[in-house]
């Protein structure tokens, strides 16, 4: 959802800022990542890769997908 | 003895069946070559020497007793080390599985054992077929036998390196985003990604539920047809496995290209770009196929340049789901690159996943429309040969990227069959791959076109000069 996207981008930007400040840890990751209990410095080191993943996923918002059903079982194509 | 290691499977099978070549002699020749070259090439993580000689002896005895099973009987091959082998260590290329010995064979291994193939060992892989490995990691990357300075690719680099170097007659690898076709391109081999669902995946360590595809590395399309014949068909334990009838792939190789419509995508290739020697080789390949009776048509496929984003978004999310517990519980046994590659998938949402799967359907539908006007699609496998690239232009669209994924991912997205075959070498001696893709479940047509190309050229008959 758009607001989540905006929030995540804001968090990402914040995390990027945090990287410039060694005393500060990166922004709170999603619950799925929190369960991994990764050290803050490792999470902070992932910021560029996380931003790239989010950006690449966001490009797909440009596609006309309203009437498309998701799926990968293409036998009927 | 080395001459035996560069026979095609078809030729070796003819000799074995005629009693002119023993599986024992053939297997011994490969094991001797592995002993001599594997330390430098690192194609194998595990070599199963004793078991291989035992299996070769059993094959020889069965054949002598008149129980010949077919063209893979007594043929020595390897398996990417994400494929479970009963009683043989299967590491996934990861320290976290350094001591795992499966109790059952993967579906594909069972199929090949039934066909009489001899297992030489387990081939080097990126960690869990996902994150590239380095000299510092538990499993170091396999080297390219054409030149150790050239990359062997990934993730199935040991499979490609080993077959190219004559350390196996074939290998079974996997392709979730080009992991068969790119190493085949870099090592000068025939690498087939079959149709998604054509080959069962039970017992193969997963990366991506909706992309993982098992397929063969061979030196020729004919050998690929022989391997596919043995491994294609329904796997009852794999819910994505298809129950469609399996055609006779080897018989299908005789299909003519007269009247075949081959599509090329100049606008996509213009957007992606490619090394100038790659473009020259591609043009020459078109000439060969046209001379074989095919007509060449220029086509455009809307949204194709989103293929890489679709593939990576799905791979990241599914890969994170597959490996999250391992990262939580055994992070110290995983490479830093594996953790750094996998965790970002956890930052993506269900919304991202559904959108990527919808985009996948959209692109697959556009490809299906394209296949109403052409029978096959032709592209380079990779814009960059192993010897380095001299690009004609800079790609303008960041969505495409310039990586080796731009030409291979469209056919992971729609799950269709695609093969990479060698079509030239650069002046520096690096192989260049040509990719032929077809409609889902028309693996036979794809192989027939590759076979026709190989009957007109000899690129697949060149072998690296190794001591």
Q: From first to last of the 467 residues of chain B, give the pLDDT tens digit.
A: 589 999 999 999 999 999 999 999 999 999 999 999 999 999 999 999 999 999 999 999 999 999 999 999 999 999 999 999 999 999 999 999 999 999 999 999 999 999 999 999 999 999 999 988 888 888 999 999 999 999 999 999 999 999 999 999 999 999 999 999 999 999 999 999 999 999 999 999 999 999 999 999 999 999 999 999 999 999 999 999 999 999 999 999 999 999 999 999 999 999 998 899 999 999 999 999 999 999 999 999 999 999 999 999 999 999 999 999 999 999 999 999 999 999 999 999 999 999 999 999 999 999 999 999 999 999 999 999 999 877 756 667 888 876 678 999 999 999 999 999 999 999 999 999 999 999 999 999 999 999 999 999 999 999 999 75
Do B97 and B122 touch, CB atoms closer than 8 A? no
Do B433 and B421 touch, CB atoms closer than 8 A? yes
**Taking the CB of residue B101, how many other CB atoms lie within 10 A of it?**
12
Smallest Cα distance from A49 to chain B, Å: 6
Q: Does pLDDT of A4 surpass 50? A: no
Query: Which residue of B lies nearest to A32 if distances are taken between CA atoms?
Result: B346
Cα separation, B331 vs B320, whole angstroms: 13
Cα separation values, B12 from B114, B294, B402, Å = 18, 31, 40
**Taking the CB of residue B398, how many other CB atoms lie within 10 A of it?**
11
Which ranges of B84-140 would DSSP assign to H, the alpha helix? 107-114
Which ranges of B239-384 would DSSP assign to H, the alpha helix? 249-252, 266-272, 276-291, 307-330, 336-342, 350-370
- Three-state DSSP at B229 gives helix
Closest by CA position to B339, among listed A24, A33, A51? A33
Please check whether residue A50 touches B, CB under 8 A: yes
Residues 6 or more apart from B461 whose CB is under 8 A from it?
Answer: B219
Q: Please tell me the predicted confidence (pLDDT) of residue A9.
A: 45
Closest by CA position to B315, among listed B364, B358, B348? B348
**pTM, two decimal places:** 0.94
Asked whether the beta carbons of residue B196 and residue A72 sit closer than 8 angstroms, the reply is yes
Q: Please tell me the predicted confidence (pLDDT) of residue B257.
A: 97
Residue pointed to by tokens 């310039």: B402
Q: Please tell me the predicted confidence (pLDDT) of residue A13.
A: 43
**pLDDT confidence of A76, banded at 50, 70, 90?**
very low
Smallest Cα distance from B408 to chain A, Å: 17
A-contacting residues in B 406-435 (Cβ below 8 Å): 414-415
B80 is catalytic: yes
Asked whether the beta carbons of residue A53 and residue B349 sit closer than 8 angstroms, the reply is no
Residues 6 or more apart from B401 whose CB is under 8 A from it?
Answer: B308, B395
Please check whether residue B329 touches A, CB under 8 A: no
Residue to mutate among B325, B343, B443, with most A CBs inside 10 A, is B343
Asked whether the beta carbons of residue B347 and residue A73 sit closer than 8 angstroms, the reply is no
Residue to mutate among B346, B350, B417, with most A CBs inside 10 A, is B346
Helix, strand, coil % over all residues of chain B, rounded to 5 = 40, 15, 45
Helix axes of B443-456 and B221-231: crossing angle, nearest 10 degrees? 160
Do B90 and B123 touch, CB atoms closer than 8 A? no
Average pLDDT over residues A3-28: 43
**Taking the CB of residue B136, how many other CB atoms lie within 10 A of it?**
9
Asked whether the beta carbons of residue A53 and residue B312 sit closer than 8 angstroms, the reply is yes
Please check whether residue A73 touches B, CB under 8 A: yes
B155 is catalytic: yes
Cα separation, B369 vs B302, whole angstroms: 10
Dihedral over Cα of B250, B254, B255, B259: its sign: positive
User: Facing residues of B233 across strands?
Assistant: B199
Closest by CA position to B307, among listed B174, B418, B206, B202? B418
Report the Cα–Cα distance between both ends of chain B, in Å, rounded: 13
Q: Please tell me the predicted confidence (pLDDT) of residue A27.
A: 54
Please check whether residue B312 touches A, CB under 8 A: yes
Which helix or strand (DSSP H or E) is residue B45 part of? Answer: strand B44-47
Please check whether residue A46 touches B, CB under 8 A: yes
**Taking the CB of residue B18, how many other CB atoms lie within 10 A of it?**
8
Q: Please tell me the predicted confidence (pLDDT) of residue A24.
A: 35
Q: Does pLDDT of A1 surpass 80? A: no
Closest by CA position to B356, among listed B406, B301, B302, B303? B303
Q: Please tell me the predicted confidence (pLDDT) of residue B451.
A: 98
Residues 6 or more apart from B145 whose CB is under 8 A from it?
Answer: B37, B41, B161, B164, B165, B187, B464, B466
Asked whether the beta carbons of residue B414 and residue A32 sit closer than 8 angstroms, the reply is no
Cα separation, B461 vs A38, whole angstroms: 50
Q: Please tell me the predicted confidence (pLDDT) of residue B121.
A: 98
Q: Please tell me the predicted confidence (pLDDT) of residue B394.
A: 61
Comparing CB atoms, the residue among B242, B346, B347 nearest residue A75 is B242
């Amino acid at each position: 959802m758009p607001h989540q996207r905006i929030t995540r981008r804001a968090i990402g930007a914040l995390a990027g800022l945090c990287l410039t400040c060694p005393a500060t840890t990166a922004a709170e990751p999603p619950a799925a990542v929190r369960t991994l209990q990764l050290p803050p410095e490792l999470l902070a080191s992932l910021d560029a890769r996380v931003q790239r993943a989010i950006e690449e996923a966001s490009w797909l918002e440009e596609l006309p997908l309203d009437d498309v059903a998701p799926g990968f079982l293409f036998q009927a194509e | 003895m080395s001459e035996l290691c560069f026979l095609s499977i078809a030729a070796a099978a003819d000799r074995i069946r005629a009693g002119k070549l023993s599986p024992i002699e053939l297997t011994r020749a490969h094991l001797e070559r592995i002993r001599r070259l594997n330390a430098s090439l690192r194609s194998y993580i595990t070599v199963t020497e004793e078991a291989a000689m035992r299996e070769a002896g059993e094959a020889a005895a069965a054949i002598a007793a008149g129980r010949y099973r077919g063209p893979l009987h007594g043929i020595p091959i390897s398996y990417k080390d994400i494929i479970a082998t009963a009683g043989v260590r299967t590491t996934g290329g990861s320290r976290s599985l350094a001591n795992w010995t499966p109790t059952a064979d993967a579906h594909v291994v069972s199929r090949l054992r039934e066909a009489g193939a001899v297992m030489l060992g387990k081939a080097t892989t990126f960690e869990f077929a996902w994150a590239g490995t380095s000299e510092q990691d538990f499993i170091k990357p396999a080297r390219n036998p054409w030149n150790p300075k050239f990359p062997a690719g990934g993730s199935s680099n040991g499979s490609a390196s080993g077959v190219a170097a004559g350390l196996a007659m074939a290998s079974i690898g996997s392709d979730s985003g080009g992991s068969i076709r790119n190493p085949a391109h870099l090592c000068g081999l025939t690498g087939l990604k079959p149709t998604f669902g054509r080959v069962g995946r039970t017992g193969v360590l997963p990366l991506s539920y909706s992309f993982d595809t098992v397929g063969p590395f061979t030196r020729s399309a004919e050998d690929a047809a022989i391997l596919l014949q043995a491994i294609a068909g329904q796997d009852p334990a794999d819910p994505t496995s298809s129950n469609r009838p399996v055609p006779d792939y080897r018989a299908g190789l005789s299909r003519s290209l007269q009247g075949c419509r081959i599509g090329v995508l100049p606008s996509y290739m213009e957007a992606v770009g490619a090394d100038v020697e790659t473009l020259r080789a591609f043009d020459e390949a078109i000439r060969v196929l046209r001379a074989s009776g095919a007509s060449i048509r220029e086509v455009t496929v809307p949204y194709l340049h989103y293929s890489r984003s679709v593939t990576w978004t799905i791979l990241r999310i599914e890969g994170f789901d597959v490996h999250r517990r391992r990262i939580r519980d055994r992070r110290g046994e995983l490479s830093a690159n594996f953790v750094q590659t996998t965790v970002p998938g956890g930052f993506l949402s269900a919304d991202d996943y559904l959108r990527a799967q919808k985009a996948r359907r959209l692109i697959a539908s556009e490809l299906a429309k394209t296949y109403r006007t052409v029978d096959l699609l032709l592209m380079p496998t990779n814009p960059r040969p192993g010897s380095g690239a001299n690009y004609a232009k800079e790609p303008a669209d960041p969505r495409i990227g310039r990586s080796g994924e731009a030409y291979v991912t469209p056919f992971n997205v729609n799950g269709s069959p695609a093969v990479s075959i060698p079509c030239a070498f650069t002046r520096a001696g690096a192989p260049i791959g040509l990719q032929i893709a077809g409609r889902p479940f028309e693996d036979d047509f794809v192989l027939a076109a590759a076979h026709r190309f190989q009957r007109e050229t000899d690129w697949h008959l060149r072998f690296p000069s190794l001591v």
